[in-house]
Amino acid sequence: MKLIRTVQTIREQIKKARDKKIGFVPTMGYLHDGHLSLVEQAKKENDLVVMSIFVNPLQFGPNEDFERYPRNEQKDAKVAKEKGVDILFMPSVEEMYPEDMSIQMTITNGTDVLCGSSRPGHFDGVATVLTKLFHLIQPTSAYFGLKDAQQFAIVNTLVSEMNFPLSLIGLPTVRETDGLAKSSRNVYLTDDERKEAVALYASLQHAQKLIVDGLNNPATIIMEVKKVIKNRTKARIDYVDILNYPNLQKINVMNGQVIIAIAVQFTHARLIDNIILSANGERVDRLVQGG
Amino acid sequence: MKLIRTVQTIREQIKKARDKKIGFVPTMGYLHDGHLSLVEQAKKENDLVVMSIFVNPLQFGPNEDFERYPRNEQKDAKVAKEKGVDILFMPSVEEMYPEDMSIQMTITNGTDVLCGSSRPGHFDGVATVLTKLFHLIQPTSAYFGLKDAQQFAIVNTLVSEMNFPLSLIGLPTVRETDGLAKSSRNVYLTDDERKEAVALYASLQHAQKLIVDGLNNPATIIMEVKKVIKNRTKARIDYVDILNYPNLQKINVMNGQVIIAIAVQFTHARLIDNIILSANGERVDRLVQGG
C-alpha cells in the first residue's frame, strides 16, 4: 500500500493509473467495519482501491467536534493495508486548503431537514471536499455507507447536477451484533449509554414492522419511534423523521421509497441511524447512481 | 466532425477517448478568428479537439443580452469542421440544466472589479457551466482567449482551488488589422462606432508606452487611457482599471505583472479589451497553469 500525503504525489499516482478502474472510499478515518465493508466491495469491482482519510474542517460547525473527532492514523494505515487498500491518501488540512477559498459551494435543497437543519453549512463542506477529492482521485466508482443517508442523497445531487464522470455506490450500514450502527463516534458512549443505544435500531425495526402491518401515517410512526427511544434511553432526541428518498421531501402519507432517520444526543456522542424502505416496506440496502 | 447535442452521447464519446490527449475549447458560438486561434493551438497540442458551443443563461444577468446574443449554429458547425474540430458539443439549455439547480457555486474573490462589479453573478455562472463541461469533456488542456482576462483569472482560481485535473492555456487576443479585438458582439456596432472602436486598443497601447517610459502611477495612466477613449469615441466608459494579474487586486504603484482593462458601452454593444504587462512593461500573451 502506498501512503500519500500530498496533492502532487496523488496526482502523479492517479495519472499512472489512467487505464485502471479506480474504486474510491472517502473517509474521516478511525476506521471500523462500516468503512471496511466499503473497501471490500470496492476491491471486488475495481482494479485499484484508493481510500482517503481526511477530517474535513469545512464540514464541522464552530461548536462541533472537529478538534475532538477521534483520530488514529497509525492504526488506520495498518488496517487499510491489511484490507487491501492500494493507495491511502492522508493529506493535511494545509494540503487540501492551502489558502482562504475563493469558491463557495452551497447546497440549497435537501439540507434543511434531518442533520442539515442542526448543522448549517455541513453539506456545503462535504460537497466542497468531495469535489476536490473526486478531481484528485478520478474514481470510476465512489463508495459510501448508507448510515449517512442524507449525505449519500446530497452527493447524488452533486454528482448528477455537476455531471461528475463517476458512479456512486451506497452500501448497507454495518451493525454491531446487537444492532447498533458502527460509528467512529461510538467510542464516546459511556457503558450505560452503549447499552441504551441499542434502542435506536430497535425503534427503526419497530417502525418497519408498523409499516409492513399497514400503518401509513408518518406522524403516527414517528411518535411510535420516539416512544421507543424515550422509554429505553436517557438520550435527547434531536430528530425522528420520515421523508421520501433520495429527494428528502416531507410526506403526508407513506408512498414510494422513504427514509426513516433518527439522531439522538448522548452525553458526549451524537448518534444517527436510519433505514430506507421501498414502497412495500422492504429494506433497501444498496443504491447505485450514474456511471 | 461529430456534432453532439446530448450529455449521454458526449459521455460515451469521451469514454472512448480515455487514452487520448483532449484539447477543449469552450465557446458561446458565433465563432470568429479568436475562437479559431484556440482551435489551432489545441490541435497542435492534443490528439482530439472538442469545442463546445453553449450560450449559458446562468452567466447572463436579467437585463443582459442572453436572448439577443448572436447565434448561428449552422455556420459555426461548418467553420468548426473546416478548422479541424473533432467533436462539436452543442447542448440545449434543458440538456445542461434539466431542473432547478440545488448546488450553487459562488466566487468570492476577484469578482468585485472590472466586469464583475457591473455583472453580479456572472462569474458564478461561468464557474458552474465550466465545472459541468470539464466533467463531461475531461480535457487534458482547456483553451481560453485572454481577451476575457478576468474570466481566465477566475477560471485559474476555480481549477486550482478545486483541483481540476487539467491545464489551462490562455492565448493572445486576436485583433482586426486596425487593432480592434475580435468579438462576437462587434456585429452590434454601427459603422461610425466601428471606426471609433479602434480607440480602445490605441488607448491600451498608449498606456503601455507611458509605462515603458517610466510612468508608474496607475491613477495617472488610467486618466490618460480615459482621455484617449473620450476624445475619440462617443461611447460611455464603463471602467478603465489597472490591477495586478492574475490576483486582480488594486495597486497604488506599478509593480509586477498587471492588467490594464477597459470596458465601454456603445449604443448596442458593450466592448471590452485589455493588455497584460510584465513588470518591465512587456506584453504577456500566453499564460499556462497547472496540468
Specify the CATH number for the domain of residue A219: 3.30.1300.10
Single out the residue of B238, B228, B233 nearest to residue B195, CA to CA. B233
Cell of A117: 437543519
Decide if B269 contacts B188 (C-beta within 8 A): yes
- Average pLDDT, integer, range A248-260: 93
On whether residue A70 sits in a domain, the answer given is yes
Does A148 appear as a known binding residue?
yes
The reply to whether residue B163 touches residue A136, judged by beta carbons under 8 angstroms, is yes
On whether residue A178 sits in a domain, the answer given is no
Distances (CA, A) of B88 to A22, B1, B127: 29, 7, 21
On whether residue A85 sits in a domain, the answer given is yes
Give the number of domains in chain A: 2
Contacts of A191 (CB under 8 A, 6+ apart): none
Single out the residue of B195, B278, B274, B205 nearest to residue B235, CA to CA. B195
Q: Is B110 on the interface with A (CB under 8 A)?
A: yes
Q: Could you tell me the pLDDT band of residue B290, with boundaries at 50, 70 and 90?
A: confident
Q: Is A127 on the interface with B (CB under 8 A)?
A: yes
Residue B250 is classified by DSSP as B
Are residues B235 and B126 located together in one domain of the fold? no
pLDDT digits (tens, 9 = 90+) for B31-48: 999 999 999 999 999 999
Decide if B124 contacts B104 (C-beta within 8 A): yes
pLDDT at A81: 98
Helix axes B122-137, B7-16, angle to 10 degrees: 50
- Average pLDDT, integer, range A68-86: 96
Are residues B119 and B208 located together in one domain of the fold? no
On whether residue B178 sits in a domain, the answer given is no
Q: Give the residue from chain A lying closest to B16, CA to CA.
A: A19
Three-state DSSP class for residue A241: strand
Are residues A147 and A267 located together in one domain of the fold? no
pLDDT at A291: 54
pLDDT at B291: 54
Decide if A90 contacts A53 (C-beta within 8 A): yes
CA-based nearest distance A210→chain B, Å: 34
Least confident range from B8-17, B87-96, B103-112, B167-176: namely B103-112
**Residue A143 phi, psi dihedral angles, 5° rounding:** -110, 130
Q: Could you tell me the pLDDT band of residue B49, with boundaries at 50, 70 and 90?
A: very high
Are residues B79 and B132 located together in one domain of the fold? yes
Question: Which residues 154-173 on chain A approach chain B with CB closer than 8 angstroms?
Answer: 157-158, 161-165
Q: How far apart are CA B118 and CA B238, in angstroms?
A: 9
Q: For the stretch B146-171, what's the b/e string if a residue is b when 16 or more beta carbons lie within 10 angstroms of its beta carbon?
A: bbbbbbbbbbbbbbbbbbbbbbbbbb
On whether residue A44 sits in a domain, the answer given is yes
| Listed residues A120, A147, A171: the one ending a domain | A171
CA-based nearest distance A112→chain B, Å: 12
DSSP H/E element including B165? none
Are residues A125 and A198 located together in one domain of the fold? no
Are residues A245 and A126 located together in one domain of the fold? no
Q: How far apart are CA B229 and CA A241, in angstroms?
A: 64
Q: Could you tell me the pLDDT band of residue B91, with boundaries at 50, 70 and 90?
A: very high
Domain that holds residue B16: 2-171
Q: Could you tell me the pLDDT band of residue B13, with boundaries at 50, 70 and 90?
A: very high
Higher pLDDT, A286 or A266: A266
Q: Which residues sit opposite B275 in a β-bridge?
A: B260
Q: Give the residue from chain B lying closest to A97, CA to CA.
A: B161
On whether residue B176 sits in a domain, the answer given is no
Q: Give the residue from chain A lying closest to B158, CA to CA.
A: A103
ipTM score assigned to the predicted complex: 0.92
Cell of B239: 471602467
CATH of the domain at B100: 3.40.50.620
On whether residue A141 sits in a domain, the answer given is yes
pLDDT at A100: 83
Q: Which residues sit opposite A270 in a β-bridge?
A: A265
Closest Cβ–Cβ partner in B103, B107, B110 for A158: B103
Are residues B90 and B153 located together in one domain of the fold? yes
Task: Please state, for a pLDDT cut of 90, what percent of chain A lies above it.
Answer: 88
| Listed residues B118, B147, B171: the one ending a domain | B171
CA atoms lying within 13 Å on the CB side of residue A84: 14
Three-state DSSP class for residue B61: coil
Are residues A72 and A195 located together in one domain of the fold? no
Are residues B189 and B166 located together in one domain of the fold? no
Are residues B248 and B145 located together in one domain of the fold? no
Q: Which residues sit opposite B273 in a β-bridge?
A: B262
| Listed residues A124, A145, A171: the one ending a domain | A171
pLDDT digits (tens, 9 = 90+) for B223-254: 999 999 999 999 999 999 999 999 899 999 99
Q: Is A1 exposed, middle or buried (0-12, 13-18, 19+ CB in 10 A)?
A: middle
Single out the residue of A81, A60, A115 nearest to residue A272, CA to CA. A115
CA-based nearest distance B119→chain A, Å: 17
Q: Is residue A227 scored above 70 in pLDDT? A: yes
Are residues B61 and B130 located together in one domain of the fold? yes
Which of B8, B9, B99, B102 should one mutate to test binding to chain A, selecting the residue with the greatest count of A CBs within 10 A? Answer: B102
On whether residue A21 sits in a domain, the answer given is yes
Are residues B233 and B149 located together in one domain of the fold? no
